């Protein structure tokens, strides 16, 4: 059984007299889903009220990277180093993350996607790592291996990677700040920056800060996408091939932000 995986999209707007809004997804995300046995479909930004119907079409969701999340959503003022934001995309993907968390729909967040998961559940973000983290590593600009991350033993991420340390690439200037209640941090770099988090007890709700889709030959990439697709296959079987769950739950409310630690 090949599960259907919905991929979020980046947004852009053409310049000109009659600008046109465009939606896109970098090819590596699509290829990694296909290689792991899934059927990728794109989910362009829509009204959040459409999310339940859209997720009825899929067995898992992949929240991809992209622009910064609007800090007003998690109650913060914009930092001077904040990059471009798209509030409509933020609201749409946050609705996806909340629904996936509530309905046990497998979800993988990559880079921005990991940050969206945290904000959706009530957490906050570091808006600019160089400005807000003491003696930070270089986290921006490399899609090849840039540094190691330490993985917390006993976590889902540790079990699926099979190791306590893994070399990853790095292309971001934001990260999780205060983790949402229940969204457990499962990996960090030596400077303390959060590199992964997961929702314990969920079928598969996991975010990573690096870009595994850009390291196709890495064992960690294959293991991560394989585990995600296995959870999506289980979802497909549990609903008899239809992506619609037998009984939908109400999306969780955003929890209180935890103290950063």
pLDDT tens digits in sequence order for the chain, 261 residues long: 899 999 999 999 888 778 899 999 999 999 999 999 999 999 999 999 999 999 999 999 999 999 999 999 999 999 999 999 999 999 999 999 999 999 999 999 999 999 999 999 999 999 999 999 998 888 887 888 889 999 999 999 999 999 999 999 999 999 999 999 999 999 999 999 999 999 999 999 999 999 999 999 999 999 999 999 999 999 999 987 655 554 444 555 555 443 333
Tokens encoding 238: 């549990």
C-beta separation of 106 from 38 below 8 A: no
State the Cα–Cα distance between residues 177 and 149, nearest whole angstrom: 17
211 given a catalytic annotation: yes
Query: Using the 8-state DSSP alphabet, how is residue 149 labeled?
Result: E
93 given a catalytic annotation: no
Catalytic residue among 111, 173, 195, 198: 111
State the Cα–Cα distance between residues 106 and 233, nearest whole angstrom: 10
Tokens encoding 81: 């180093």
Strands 194-198 and 205-208: antiparallel
pTM score: 0.91
Tokens encoding 256: 């209180």
In Å, how far are 13, 36, 85, 251 from 81, measured between CA atoms?
22, 37, 12, 32
Catalytic residue among 93, 195, 198, 213: 213
The pLDDT score that the predictor gives to residue 236 is 96
State the Cα–Cα distance between residues 59 and 70, nearest whole angstrom: 28
The pLDDT score that the predictor gives to residue 14 is 84
34 given a catalytic annotation: no
In CATH, what number does 4-238 get?
3.40.50.880
């Amino acid at each position: 059984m090949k599960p259907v995986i919905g991929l979020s999209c980046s947004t852009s707007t053409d310049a000109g007299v009659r600008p046109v809004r465009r939606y896109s997804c970098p090819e590596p995300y699509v290829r990694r889903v296909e290689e792991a046995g899934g059927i990728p479909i794109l989910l362009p930004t829509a009204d959040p009220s459409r999310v339940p119907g859209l997720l009825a079409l899929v067995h898992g969701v992949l929240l991809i990277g992209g622009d910064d999340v609007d800090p007003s959503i998690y109650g913060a003022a914009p930092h001077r180093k904040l990059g471009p934001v798209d509030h409509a995309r933020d609201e749409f993907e946050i609705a996806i993350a909340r629904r996936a968390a509530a309905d046990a729909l497998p979800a993988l967040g990559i880079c921005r996607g990991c940050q969206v998961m945290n904000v959706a559940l009530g957490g906050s973000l570091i808006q600019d790592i160089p400005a807000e983290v003491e003696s930070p590593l270089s986290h921006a600009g490399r899609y090849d291996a840039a540094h190691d991350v330490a993985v917390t033993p006993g976590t889902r991420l540790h079990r699926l990677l099979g190791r306590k340390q893994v070399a990853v690439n790095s292309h971001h200037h934001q990260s999780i700040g205060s983790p949402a209640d229940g969204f457990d941090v499962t990996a960090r770099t030596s400077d303390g920056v959060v590199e992964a988090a997961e929702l314990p007890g969920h079928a598969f709700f996991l975010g990573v800060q690096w870009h595994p889709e850009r390291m196709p030959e890495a064992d960690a990439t294959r293991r991560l996408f394989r585990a995600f697709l296995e959870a999506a296959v289980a979802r497909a079987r549990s609903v008899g091939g239809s992506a619609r769950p037998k009984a939908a739950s109400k999306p969780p409310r955003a929890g209180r932000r935890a103290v950063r630690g």
